[in-house]
Structure formats: C-alpha cells, structure tokens
Amino acid sequence: MEQRIRFYGSALVLLSGFLCVGGPNRASAAAGCPQQTASNSLAFKSGRNGDVGVAPSGFIQPSDSSPVVNGIDVSKYQTDPIFAGVRHCGGAFAYIRLSAGTDENNELAYRTFWANAKSAGLLTGPYHHLTLADAKSAVHQLGKADLDALIERNKLQSIAQARMFKERLTELLSYDPLADQVPRTYGGPYLPAALDVTETPQAKYAQADQKQFSPIYGAAICAWVKEFRSDDRFKDQPVILFTKPVIFGDYQLANAPCDLSQLKVWISYHGRTGDRPQTETNPVARKAIEDLCVTSNQENRCLFEQYTSYGGFAVFSAGAGLDLDRYVGTLDSLKSMLQRAQAGPSK
C-alpha cells in the first residue's frame, strides 16, 4: 500500500494512501499499465503553456529496442504520483526536485516524494531548478557595467541556490537507515545530482538578445556546479545537466566559462512518438539534438531522456500526468552511477 509521508519539524508522519493501479502484485499491476513501443499511433496531447507530448498508459520502449531503464521525475507540479505503482509498472528510478530558485517555500513536497520513492524500491536522484535574474530591458541596450553587474548578480544567486539544494540533500540523507553502513560516508546511495536548466530569459525580445545573455546564463550554471562540487560532502561528484536542445543552442551554453561538455545530459525532448530524440527527422531539430548530445568523440552524452509529461498511470487522480524518463543503458550501468555523500565538514 502506498503511503503519503509528511514531515512536521523532525517528526515523521505516515498517512494512509491507496493501492497502486493493479494491486501489489507486479505482474497484475503491469497488466494495467502495459509497456508500449514508440509509434506514431500513440495518443498525443497538447497542454497549456505550449506543453506537448505522448499520453501513454505505460512506459515506452524505443523503436530500436535499445536497452533502457524506465523512471519518472517529480516536483510540486506532479501532486499525485504513486511510487509503488511506478515500480510495479516497470519503473526503477525517480528524480525528485528538492528546490527551485532561492525561495525555500517554492518546493515543499520533496521530503514526502523522496521517502515514498525509496520505500517503493526506486533509485532516487535529486535535482534543482535553476532560476535566473533577467534584465528589465533587452540586453543589447545594456552597457558593459550593467552586463557585468547582471553576471555577478546571477552568480551570487546561483551559489545561494546551490547551498539550499545541498542542505536539503543532506537533510534527506540524514533520514536514511543506511547512514552508518559505509565508512566515512553518510546516508544511502543516490543518483547524481541534476541541474534543471530550462529558464528562457530575454525570450520576449529578439533571438539575438538571448544569445547576448549567454555569458550571464553560462556564468550562473558554472557558479552552481562549482559550489556544489567544491563542498566536502559532495566533492567532485558528477552533475547531470537537464535541458532542452533549443535552450542549449539559443543561449549558446556550449560557450559557458566552465566546460559543460564534461557533464552528462538529461535531455528533455517531447516528440510525437515517444521515441529516442535521435530519431527526429526535422533537420533543424535534429541538428540541435546532435549539438547537445554528441561529443567531439562522437559519443552520446544524453544518458537520460524525458519524453513526455503526460504519462497516464500510477497517479492518484484521474487525468493527472507523470513526467516519464528513461536511462539509456542497463540497470547495472545505472546503478554504477550511484553516489554517496562524504562524512565531514562542509564548505
């Protein structure tokens, strides 16, 4: 039985929930959420704010039958996920948003989600949504002093965001019963931290202004990554970049002051078939995907793929959607990415 878990101060309260779709038996549950193969025949949905995506009743297998591990990601916008249902339907991981921007009240469901995902047997990963301070006018109208000030403002804001994210990850790990089982570490294993880079500053101005925002955007990302990875608890741990090809291209994030090409990518690309992004036939879109995913050595760095926000299963409320993701590889290779926080002082 799924449980909804809430924290009140240091107290942990378990609230009764509902059985997942199909009941506790995994085989019978999967019958209610059959895996589908990527296809043009899948239902497709358009939502508010321009969101689109396939609307499947189960996880989607790519058409090329490449090995994948299914999972989801959740934030305050996914209010009713049944993590046990995700597990019974074939999911193995859940990325959970711990924070967004600098407002500590902007994301409050992370404790419940993390605890429920772990209790369901899912591998858990933390992510943060990076917010940016935009200029009040088109960037091309700003002088150098104003641009430099905006860069510095965003760097400081990113550092503050990284610090809140680290505090929340540390908090969650402190609840883990495996806290003392591995010497010089604390908490259980978790998938690499992910940074959600999907903000669109200067979008109401010309595309040239978006490109001119590039140094500001890049500096903010680099400041967040540096702050996270320089901490003794998370020293040099990998960070996964969650983004869309159009954002990575329009803001020229390949030119960031730190080497973002060294980061693995979680690509958000909602095609009409639920297939791998590399199957895109539109030449402009395909080029943007390749620019994001393909390294100079012709290797694929887009290890995670979000392919829709309209998964129609393992939810408490009818009509609620799930963000569906896949890891491209085997379960063993996904498990090899698990990290542990280091015991000792923080920076």
**Residue of 38 and 28 predicted with greater confidence:** 38
pLDDT at 15 over 60: no
Q: What is the pLDDT of residue 22?
A: 35
Mean local confidence (pLDDT), 39-59: 89
Q: Strands 68-74, 91-100: parallel, antiparallel or unpaired by DSSP?
A: parallel
Q: How far is CA 320 from the centre of its chain?
A: 19
pTM beyond 0.85, yes or no: yes
pLDDT digits (tens, 9 = 90+) for 250-303: 999 999 999 999 999 999 999 999 999 999 999 999 999 999 999 988 899 999
Query: Which residues make Cβ contacts (< 8 Å) with residue 234, sequence separation at least 6?
Result: 166, 169, 193, 228, 339, 341, 342
Q: What is the pLDDT of residue 50?
A: 75
**70 three-state secondary structure:** strand
pLDDT digits (tens, 9 = 90+) for 135-167: 999 999 999 999 999 999 999 999 999 999 999
Q: What is the pLDDT of residue 179?
A: 56
Q: What is the pLDDT of residue 344?
A: 67
Mean local confidence (pLDDT), 321-334: 97
pLDDT at 23 over 60: no
Half-sphere exposure of 69 (CA within 13 A, CB side): 16
pLDDT at 1 over 50: no
Residue 346's pLDDT band (boundaries 50, 70, 90)? low
Separation CA 198–CA 284 (nearest Å): 19
Q: What is the mean pLDDT of the chain?
A: 89
Q: What is the pLDDT of residue 60?
A: 97
pLDDT digits (tens, 9 = 90+) for 68-102: 999 999 999 987 899 999 999 999 999 999 999 99
Q: What is the pLDDT of residue 345?
A: 60
**165 three-state secondary structure:** helix
Residue ranges of the domains in the chain?
Answer: 3-342
Mean local confidence (pLDDT), 37-62: 90
- Which amino acid appears at position 44 of this protein? F
pLDDT digits (tens, 9 = 90+) for 174-233: 988 665 567 788 899 999 999 999 999 999 999 999 999 999 999 999 999 999 999 999
pLDDT at 18 over 80: no
- Residue with the two structure tokens 């690509």: 267
Q: What is the pLDDT of residue 296?
A: 86
Residue 8's pLDDT band (boundaries 50, 70, 90)? very low
Mean local confidence (pLDDT), 230-246: 96
Q: What is the pLDDT of residue 20?
A: 39
pLDDT at 105 over 60: yes
Q: Which CATH entry fits the domain spanning 3-342: 3.20.10.10, 3.90.1150.10, 3.40.50.300, 3.20.20.80?
A: 3.20.20.80
Q: How far is CA 31 from CA 2, 8, 57, 88, in A?
A: 19, 37, 10, 10
Separation CA 157–CA 323 (nearest Å): 28
- Residue with the two structure tokens 């189960």: 58
∠ CA 292-298-303, rounded to 5°: 55
